Amino acid sequence: MNPKETKTGQSIDLVKTTVINPVLVERVLEIPNLERVLSVIDIGSGDGTSSRAVIKALSEKGYAVENLALVDADTKIFPDLVETTTFEPPYSLNTQVLEFRDRDILSAFLERFEGVYDIAIAQLVFQQIHTVPEASYLMHSAYWALKPAGELLLVDLHPKYIQYLVDQAPAKFEVLQRDGDGLMGRYHFDSGGSVEIHSRVMAIQLAMLLGVGFDLVNAASLSTDSIIDKKERYHALTQEKIPMFYMMQLRKNPANFVSGTTGVVEAIKPHTHGWVSVTFADGDEIMVPGFNNWEDVKKGSHLVLHETYRPEVEKQIVNYWVIDGEKVTGGQLVASQKQ
């Protein structure tokens, strides 16, 4: 059986299939000691083209995907998404589809499948998450969904490409806000439609990933060389050596993990020397460094703490997220040297 073609109706499909997916597949096949039977999670899967390309390539090389999660899949637009993504044996037989954007549902899903996945793919998704705490919380969730030594492959539009659009094609990227993290704007597709994206400084993106416990394996800029003749813009980008995308390949490293706590807050109050005391609804009490705006944490808020150690700087990093319904706030603190 020949797999059906997945159709999205967006011109971005060309660069996905020609520029992004070949490199994505190459990176997956270069993972050391790759198991022959795999679990894959596609975060922000949309039309499933990322996982579809990886599954097909893996099968052709003698690998099988026995378990697939499509997170934020769009089966309303693509009702045959599962069929077009998973095909038939030896392709995935066990597929979980999560369409909801509700964080409670996503968290419950990833908690249920904690430590299940060998590979996580996040293609053009993190740039659509508007705040740093929201983005880092999803990275934290991806960390726990992966097996020990599981790998995350993240692809987003390159900040240099976004700046090129700002300078040369402002109708393509409409700047809405500038901040220390990068640019917030509305990206207009050539074929119609638009989406708000936050183009973050890559150093900030990497710091978030390292802070939640990933190690950087590889980073690459993806150019439009292979589609130079398809559009004038691609020709100009190639001539000026401006990459359209970047890819980060990261590996979960359990050795970086120090401790983690999560629960519903009953009370929070100052302790001593810049620390605060948190009492959870189940009666547990912990002491943590005083984080930004801790006074605003309310009874009933969901607090998540995740502490890692970075040997490069010999420091412990405390990640914290406060979740109130749809609102996620948080950040990272450099705590101290490892005790």
Let me know whether 197 and 179 are in one domain. Answer: yes
What tens digit of pLDDT does each residue of 286-317 get?
Answer: 988 888 888 889 999 999 999 999 998 888 99
Let me know whether 275 and 299 are in one domain. Answer: yes
Average pLDDT of every residue of the chain: 84
6 occurs within a structural domain: no
Let me know whether 119 and 226 are in one domain. Answer: yes
| Domains of the chain: total | 2
- Helices then strands, counting H and E runs in the chain, come out as 9, 16
4 occurs within a structural domain: no
Strands 64-73 and 94-98: parallel
Spatial CA neighbour of 191 closest among 10, 8, 7: 10
Question: What's the pLDDT score for residue 101?
Answer: 57
Let me know whether 239 and 279 are in one domain. Answer: no
1 occurs within a structural domain: no
What tens digit of pLDDT does each residue of 169-219 get?
Answer: 999 999 999 888 889 999 998 877 888 999 998 888 899 999 999 999 999
What is the reported pTM?
0.87
Distances (CA, A) of 78 to 7, 48, 73, 74, 82: 8, 9, 9, 6, 9
Last residue within a domain, chosen from 186, 220, 252: 252
Let me know whether 157 and 85 are in one domain. Answer: yes
| List of residues 6+ apart from 268 with CB closer than 8 A | 276, 277, 278, 279, 294, 297
Q: What is the mean pLDDT of residues 123-143?
A: 87
Q: Which domain range does residue 40 map to? A: 12-252
Let me know whether 212 and 229 are in one domain. Answer: yes
Question: What's the pLDDT score for residue 73?
Answer: 62
Are 107 and 138 spatial neighbours (Cβ–Cβ below 8 Å)?
no
* Dist CA 247 CA 129 (whole Å): 17
Local structure of 44: helix, strand or coil = strand
339 occurs within a structural domain: no
Q: Which two tokens stand for residue 280?
A: 């959870």
CATH code, 163:
3.40.50.150
Percentage of residues in the chain having pLDDT higher than 90:
44
pLDDT confidence tier of residue 277, bands split at 50, 70 and 90: very high
107 occurs within a structural domain: yes
Let me know whether 36 and 59 are in one domain. Answer: yes
Query: 92 versus 83: which is more confidently predicted?
Result: 83
Last residue within a domain, chosen from 195, 225, 252: 252
Alpha helices in 187-331 (DSSP H): 202-211, 232-239
Let me know whether 244 and 261 are in one domain. Answer: no
Last residue within a domain, chosen from 219, 236, 252: 252
Let me know whether 158 and 265 are in one domain. Answer: no
Let me know whether 172 and 39 are in one domain. Answer: yes
Q: Which two tokens stand for residue 188?
A: 């207009």
Question: What's the pLDDT score for residue 244?
Answer: 95
Distances (CA, A) of 141 to 90, 113, 135, 285, 304: 28, 10, 10, 24, 11
Question: What's the pLDDT score for residue 8?
Answer: 43
Question: What's the pLDDT score for residue 234?
Answer: 92
* Dist CA 210 CA 41 (whole Å): 20
Let me know whether 180 and 102 are in one domain. Answer: yes
Let me know whether 316 and 183 are in one domain. Answer: no
Distances (CA, A) of 19 to 16, 92, 144, 223, 234: 6, 25, 29, 7, 11
Neighbour order of strands in the sheet with 94-98: 94-98, 64-73, 37-46, 117-123, 146-157, 245-252, 214-222
268 occurs within a structural domain: yes
- Alpha-carbon Rg for the chain, nearest whole angstrom, is 21
Please determine, for residue 338, whether its predicted confidence score (pLDDT) is greater than 50.
no
- For residue 308, list its beta bridge partners: 257, 317
Residues in the chain: 339
pLDDT confidence tier of residue 10, bands split at 50, 70 and 90: very low
| Secondary structure (DSSP) of 145-204 | HEEEEEEEEEEEE-HHHHHHHHHH-TTTEEEEEEETTEEEEEEEPTTS-EEEEEEE-HHH
What tens digit of pLDDT does each residue of 209-253 get?
Answer: 999 999 999 999 999 999 999 899 999 999 999 999 999 999 999
Question: What's the pLDDT score for residue 66?
Answer: 86
What tens digit of pLDDT does each residue of 33-52 get?
Answer: 999 999 998 887 777 777 88
